[in-house]
Chains A and B, each alone.
Chain A
Amino acid sequence: MTHREQFEADLDRVKQDIIELAQAVEDALGKAIDALFNQDIRLAEEVIKQDMNIDRREKEINEQTIVTMAKQQPVATDLRRLVIALKITTDVERMGDHARNIAESAICLGEEHYLTIPPKIKDMRNMVMDMNHTAIQALLYEDISIAGKLSTMDDMVDDLYESMIQDLLGETAANPEKIQYIMQMAFSARYMERFADHITNIGESIIYLVKGETHKLN
């Protein structure tokens, strides 16, 4: 194996690890929302446990990336590839925290609250998951046109978030006794909105990787 082949293998491994971590986080978000809708406390606890694994993987990937930097002393695109690996891993780990927060909201509401979860939460989850798929594709192919789509997708998530908050404010006035429930719904929507923001950060990292310059997506 030549010097460059080993390096390419290290770079591929880091990228593959990040993609797997992003998929794990997406899985956690899906389960957290399911737990919220089905009042499934065990599933919510599983998400919390899963988040510990995500945190551990974040540390491992970052350590691996730093070791690769130290050994290979990369420049130009290689350097950017490893720098964004550190940034993206941090973003993904934060996304995992948001999934965990939603799971905690589900636990907070308990198994028997007899309340209807707003369907917009599911719409938001679908949009955010779609964004995550898009970000993974953009990273896999290092494609800035795919990364650029995240900006519009994030705007749609933001609009849905705003509209949900309006709905929940109306609910507060009509049913002040449901404040605990309303708060948890608002928090969950906010966690997903933040989740989407981290995905746009990933898109920005990919643009930086390819073009060597920063570009805001949200």
Chain B
Amino acid sequence: MNTAAERKHTFFANTVADEQEYVSKTIYNVDHFNLWYGDDQALYDVTLAIPENQVTAIIGPSGCGKSTFIKSLNRMVELVPSVKMNGSISYAGQDIFSSGYKVEQLRTDVGMVFQNPNPFPKSIYENVAYGPKIHGIRKKKVLDEIVEKSLKGAALWDEVKDRLQENASGLSGGQQQRLCIARCLAIEPDVILMDEPTSALDPIATAKVEELVQSLKKDYSIVIVTHNMQQAARISDKTAFFLNGEVVEFEHTDKLFSNPEDRRTEDYITGRFG
């Protein structure tokens, strides 16, 4: 029989071991990143490491820079004229803003799902096959396999397998959003960025997408912007709280929602502002 002191020692040793196991690899390294729209600074000195094969939630009130940040991760933010930035964002060890970096490759590796489902006005099949076709895949058998695999991955296959040639606009909002996720999976990305993916969906469709996010994280790294704090608490492993363009706190989700370090985080998550 162990003594109490020995048991205590083992307990703490296990805790340390568990924590070490919990440290995962980093997919994105954001280092002192600043961004301006014209003269207005939108992001201030953002520094954080986004873990691989985990769900990272970005929360914060409207206008805090969440969407700007997520759009910086795939360089979509550059589509806004007058945008300028400094600092760095490394993806898989390479600075995505360095000269010579191939943005096409980044957009292949990093898929994105938006707030409102935006399927193409084509068939369900074509929506999913569109990306692989652009990447030069022509063989029907290969495309069929990709479509089936992607729709299964997005938990939509069983609902649409008998009507793949029907127009995607006939699907419900929740199905359309899962179709967009399937379209994203078809190009086999490593990362999926999601900008408020369930804000236009009803609770049941939301629950399906949340469940899907959980199942996808074993194969993909997911970054999700959400206004729904319960959602962030339910599905993410780490959460970053943005306020006025700054990262106030970036922590394991369990810690951030039970005992946040910063008073501003506490005030936001408990609904005192925002």
In whole angstroms, what is the CA distance A3 to B271 when docked? 8
Query: Which single member of A7, A73, A77 contacts B266 (CB below 8 Å)?
Result: A77
Contact present for B229 and A75 (CB under 8 Å)? yes
In chain B, positions 232-274 with a C-beta closer than 8 Å to chain A are 233, 257-260, 265-266, 269-272
| A73 touching B270 in the complex, CB below 8 Å, given contacts A79-B258, A212-B258, A212-B259 | no
How far does the Cβ of B8 sit from chain A's closest Cβ, in whole Å? 13
Whether, in the assembled complex, B105 has its beta carbon less than 8 Å from a beta carbon of chain A, the answer is no
Q: Which 10 A-B pairs have the closest CB atoms?
A: A212-B259, A75-B257, A78-B270, A75-B269, A76-B266, A4-B271, A76-B270, A76-B269, A76-B260, A73-B230
Closest to B261 in A: A212
CA distance A74 to B270 in the complex (A): 7
State the CA gap A75–B260 with chains docked (Å): 10
Q: Roughly how many angstroms separate A79 CA and B229 CA in the complex, as a whole number?
A: 14
How many A residues have CB within 8 A of the partner chain? 13
Contacts of A213 in B (CB 8 A): 259
- When the two chains form the complex, which single residue of A4, A7, A73, A75 contacts B258, counting CB atoms closer than 8 Å? A75
> In the complex, A76→B256 CA distance in Å?
8
Distance, CA A66 to CA B257, complexed state (A): 19
> Are the CB atoms of A76 and B258 closer together than 8 Å?
yes
Nearest-Cβ distance from residue B31 to partner chain A, whole angstroms? 29
Assembly CA distance A78 to B268 (angstroms)? 12
Interface residues of A in 74-111 (CB under 8 A from B): 74-80
Expressed in whole angstroms, the Cα–Cα distance for A204 and B270 within the complex equals: 23
Q: A74-B270, A76-B270, A212-B259 are known contacts; what are 9 more A-B pairs with Cβ within 8 Å?
A: A3-B271, A73-B230, A75-B229, A76-B257, A76-B265, A77-B266, A78-B270, A80-B259, A212-B258
Closest to A208 in B: B259
Check if A7 sits within 8 Å of B259, measured CB to CB.
no
Taking beta carbons and an 8 Å cutoff, which residues of B are in contact with A? 229-230, 233, 257-260, 265-266, 269-272
Contact check, A7 vs B271: say whether CB atoms are below 8 A apart. Answer: yes
A81's nearest neighbour on chain B, judged by CB, is B270
Within the complex, the shortest CB–CB distance from B258 to chain A, in Å, comes to: 6
Check A75/B233 contact, CB under 8 A, given A212-B258, A212-B259: yes
**Bound complex: CA of A75 vs CA of B241, how far in Å?**
15
Q: Which residues of B are found within 8 Å of A4, using beta-carbon distances?
A: 271-272
Q: Report the Cα distance A213→B265, complex, angstroms.
A: 18
Question: Which residues of the other chain, B, contact A79 by a CB distance below 8 angstroms?
Answer: 258
Interface contact B259-A76, CB-CB below 8 Å: yes
Contacts of B265 on A, CB cut-off 8 Å? Answer: 76
- CA of A77 to CA of B266 in the docked complex: distance in angstroms? 8
Residues of B within 8 A of A3 (CB): 271
Give CA–CA (A80, B259) in the complex, Å. Answer: 9
Complex CA–CA separation, A161 to B37 (angstroms): 72
Q: List 18 A-B contacts (CB under 8 A).
A: A4-B272, A7-B271, A73-B230, A74-B270, A75-B229, A75-B233, A75-B257, A75-B270, A76-B257, A76-B259, A76-B260, A76-B265, A76-B266, A76-B270, A77-B270, A78-B270, A80-B258, A213-B259
B239 to chain A, nearest CB (A): 11
Roughly how many angstroms separate A7 CA and B230 CA in the complex, as a whole number?
A: 17
Q: Give bound CA distance, A78 to B272, whole Å.
A: 11
Contacts of B258 in A (CB 8 A): 75-76, 79-80, 212
B residues in contact with A7, CB < 8 Å: 271
